[in-house]
Amino acid sequence: MAAEQVDIAIVGAGFAGMYMLHRARGMGLRAVVFETGDGVGGTWYWNRYPGARCDVESMEYSYQFDDDLQQEWSWSERYAAQPEILRYANHVADRFDLKRDIRFETKVTSAHFDDADGLWHVATEGRNGAVDTVAATHLVMATGCLSSANVPHFEGIEDFEGDWYHTGRWPKEGVDFTGKRVAVIGTGSSAIQSIPVIARQAEHLTVFQRTPNYAVPAHNHPVDPERETWFKANYKELREKAKQGRSGQLYSVRDLKWGSEPLETAKAEFARRWDLGGFSYLGAYVDLLVNKEGNDVAAEFVREKIRETVKDPETAELLCPTSVIGCKRLCVDIGYFETYNRDNVSLVDISKAPIERLTKKGLITGGKEYTFDAIVFATGFDAMTGSLNRIDIRGRNGLPLVEKWEAGPRTYLGLTTVGFPNLFLITGPGSPSVLTNMLPTIEQHVDYVSDIIEHLRAHGQKTIEPEQEAEDAWVDHVNAIAGGTLYPSCNSWYLGANVPGKPRVFMPYPGFPAYVKKCQEIAANGYEGFRLG
Ligand code: N01
């Protein structure tokens, strides 16, 4: 029997995949979405760990493609928690009747481009191992930037007799830590959000920290109804204004460089922004991720706050990061540092003595065994490329994407890659993605892909693929921009440094407005840098 044929195969039913499906239908195209989980929501489907919450303000962390949708939905808190965001994703899916074209519990195992018929052949594995193949003209990878969980290969993990969890694969039914001795490994955003909540439940919590992290307070609170009304009345203007911000958000980034004000004024500005909460802290000066001197002052301000908050001076010092602030994604916390003042919480520094192995009862580090009932791996993700590379994607002449990207991802606009016609990577490496509010970034990419597909159809063309020179120039451009910042100065997942053996390449593109402008210019010039055929 001939394989089912569609116009667009979409991988992933998170916010990117859902919107892509909606746009495809609007263009009269036959589209199908494959999703491993049994529901929509992507990141927010998988990351159900205690305390999971958005670090972008909820009034901004939502779709803007439909005014009725944004007017009718009400967020309850300044920073929405995971269950509310998942409810929103389901609301959107139901409102636009998306679920009927989403194949849940269906994993894409391979996607091969066939030069002979010019189609993508997508193989899937569904419920009870049922395999299937769909042929598609276009393949859209809406697989998310932080979807491939990174569970370090600790020796002895199979010996551990307690329960272990990864924050990004949290059980749907939740976990009750009451009366349990719990370990959390890692101190990134997921750990910083979950530690205060787990500490309130567990009998004892031990945090294993390899590198301390910067966190600024969320000052979370219920959304003020007056502010909501004002926001909704001005949504259009506010959304446009947010797009002019480097991360696609409304928080203010002053057009002032470090050194343009006296030190005391600068410190007062950091204090003011600390009290506002959230990412605005790094908007005090426009060049804080370029100017090391300014960055040092911003970093020291946070260290002073940690020392003021954490009562035990030794623990406080261990919690003080020394790297560039903002080099790793800044964490937005609710009572993280205060948690270390609890009697049932201890911190173990593993920077010099890594975890040697897991045992039946717990783990060994520094020659000492620590015993637990449960271990939480808050160890992050194989970011940006992980979820693409774990699928067997092959382009022209059977070239595997993993092989092409052996030395790091290479794309044109973070959206397409030479040798893989009609393959689109939503918020892929080389696009602003994780440095921005993901929702507007996703919409910009999905709209761009939709425009490309309409253009192809209008001109009777079937394929689009970047030219080699355009891709090479784009990769050089992204590297040059990142190289001019302080981002490469630490071991972050932006660089792939958290996954052993991963090539060290800065993957996202810093600067949302410049990126959007470039995309628009390319389209206006007849999709310059692309070969249409
Ligand atoms: O992961 P991470 P995350 N032994 O990679 C440590 C988004 N997010 O899940 O720094 C011991 O940041 C590792 O140590 P080190 C957000 O974009 C958003 O927390 O590599 N430790 C680090 O401390 C975020 O940036 C929200 O030395 C090991 C930690 O594990 C991104 O997801 C909430 C280890 C991993 O931190 C990832 O955050 C949560 C090992 N072998 C996440 N391997 C929002 O608020 C790793 N570590 C929206």
How far apart CA 39 and CA 93 sit, in angstroms, is 10
Distance separating alpha carbons of residues 411 and 404, to the nearest angstrom: 10
Q: Quote the ligand 1 centre to 123 CA distance (angstroms).
A: 32
Q: Is pLDDT above 70 for 2? A: no
pLDDT digits (tens, 9 = 90+) for 146-162: 999 999 999 999 999 99
d(CA 481, CA 511): 9
CB within 8 Å of 149: residues ≥ 6 apart = 46, 166, 168, 169, 381, 382
Nearest CA owner, ligand 1 atom 10: 211
For residues 404-432, give the mean pLDDT: 97
Local structure of 417: helix, strand or coil: coil
Supply the DSSP symbol for 340. T
- At 298, the amino acid letter reads A
Flag whether 21 is in a domain. yes
Cα separations in angstroms, 131 against 107, 128, 398: 9, 9, 21
CB atoms within 10 A of CB 461: 12
Phi, psi (5° rounding) for residue 123?
A: -100, 135
Do 349 and 210 have their domain in common? Answer: yes
Name the residue with the closest Cα to ligand 1, atom 21.
Answer: 186
pLDDT tens, residue by residue, 319-373: 999 999 999 999 999 999 999 999 999 999 999 999 999 999 999 999 999 999 9
- Domain-located, residue 277: yes
Residues in contact with 236: Cβ distance below 8 Å, sequence separation at least 6, in sequence order: 67
pLDDT at 122 exceeding the cut of 90: yes
Q: Please report which confidence band the pLDDT of residue 3 belongs to, taking 50, 70 and 90 as the band edges.
A: confident
User: What is residue 294's predicted lDDT score, i.e. its pLDDT?
Assistant: 98
Could you give the CA distance from residue 331 to residue 213 in angstroms, rounded to a whole number? 8
The last residue of one of the domains, among 358, 377, 396, is: 377
Domain assignment present for residue 38? The answer is: yes
Q: What local confidence, expressed as pLDDT, does residue 1 receive?
A: 57
- For residue 189, being part of any structural domain is answered with yes
Residues 82 and 25 both lie in one domain? yes
Find the mean pLDDT for residues 264-272.
98
Supply 244's token pair. 């002019």
Mean pLDDT score of the chain? 97
Q: How much is the pLDDT for 374?
A: 98
pLDDT at 128: 87
Indicate if 338 and 200 belong to the same structural domain.
yes
CATH code: domain of residue 493: 3.50.50.60
Q: Does the pLDDT of residue 479 top 70, yes or no?
A: yes
Q: What pLDDT does 290 receive?
A: 97
Are residues 36 and 8 located together in one domain of the fold? yes
Burial of 135 from C-beta contacts in 10 A (0-12 / 13-18 / 19+): middle
Q: Which atom of ligand 1 is nearest to the CA of 56?
A: 48
Judge if 196 and 337 occupy the same domain.
yes
303 plus 406 within the same structural domain:
no
The pick from 210, 329, 351 for probing ligand 1's pocket by mutation, whose C-beta has the most ligand atoms within 8 angstroms, reads: 210
Last residue of a domain, one of 318, 347, 377: 377
> Are 229 and 71 contacting, i.e. CB atoms less than 8 angstroms apart?
no
266 in any annotated domain? yes
Q: What is the pLDDT of residue 255?
A: 95
Angle separating helix axes 512-524 and 235-243, nearest 10 degrees: 90
Could you tell me if residue 82 is inside a domain?
yes
Mean per-residue pLDDT, 134-142: 98
- Over the stretch 293-327, which tens digit does the pLDDT of each residue have? 999 999 999 999 999 999 999 999 999 999 999 99
The CA-CA-CA angle for residues 390, 391, 394, to 5°, reads 125
Q: How many CA atoms lie within 13 A of 490 on its CB side?
A: 21
Let me know if residue 284 belongs to a domain.
yes
Measured from the Cα of 328, ligand 1's closest atom is 25
Tell me 282's DSSP state.
G
Do 18 and 63 lie in one domain? The reply is: yes
Residue of 189, 208, 356, 435 best suited for mutating to test ligand 1, as the one with most atoms within 8 Å of CB: 189
Same domain, 367 and 416: no
Interstrand relation of 331-333 and 204-209 (parallel, antiparallel or unpaired): unpaired
**Cβ atoms within 10 A of the Cβ of 392, count?**
14
Do 79 and 53 meet the contact criterion of CB atoms below 8 Å apart? yes
Share of the chain above pLDDT 70, in %: 100
Return the DSSP state at 108. Answer: E
Q: What is the pLDDT of residue 21?
A: 98
Tens digit of pLDDT for each residue in 17-40? 999 999 999 999 999 999 999 999
Phi then psi dihedrals of residue 284, to 5 deg: -60, -40
- Is 0.95 surpassed by the pTM of this model? yes
Name all residues whose Cβ lies below 6 A of ligand 1: 53-55, 146, 152, 167, 185-191, 193, 210-211, 329, 350, 355, 378-381, 434, 491, 493, 498
Note the pLDDT of residue 266.
98
**DSSP-based three-state secondary structure for 9:** strand
Atom of ligand 1 nearest to the CA of 434: 17
227 with 359, same domain: the answer is yes
Strand 131-141 versus strand 119-125 pairing type? antiparallel
pLDDT of residue 59: 97
User: What is the distance in A from the centroid of ligand 1 to the CA of 9?
Assistant: 31
Calculate mean pLDDT across residues 392-400. 98
Read off the tokens for 122.
Answer: 């997508």
Residue 469, pLDDT score: 98
Contact 426, 142 (CB under 8 A): yes
Q: Is the pLDDT of residue 256 over 90?
A: yes
Q: At 262, list the tokens.
A: 């006296």
In a domain, 515, yes or no: yes
Distance 189 CA to ligand 1 centre (A): 6
Same domain, 437 and 451: yes
Domain that holds residue 275: 185-377
> What is the distance in A from the centroid of ligand 1 to the CA of 188?
4
Domain boundary among 355, 377, 399: 377
- Are 202 and 309 members of one domain? yes
Instruction: Report whether 377 contacts 428 (CB < 8 A).
Output: no
When divided into structural domains, the chain yields a total of: 2
Nearest 5°: the CA angle 434, 445, 452 is 155
The reply to whether 345 and 200 lie within a common domain is yes
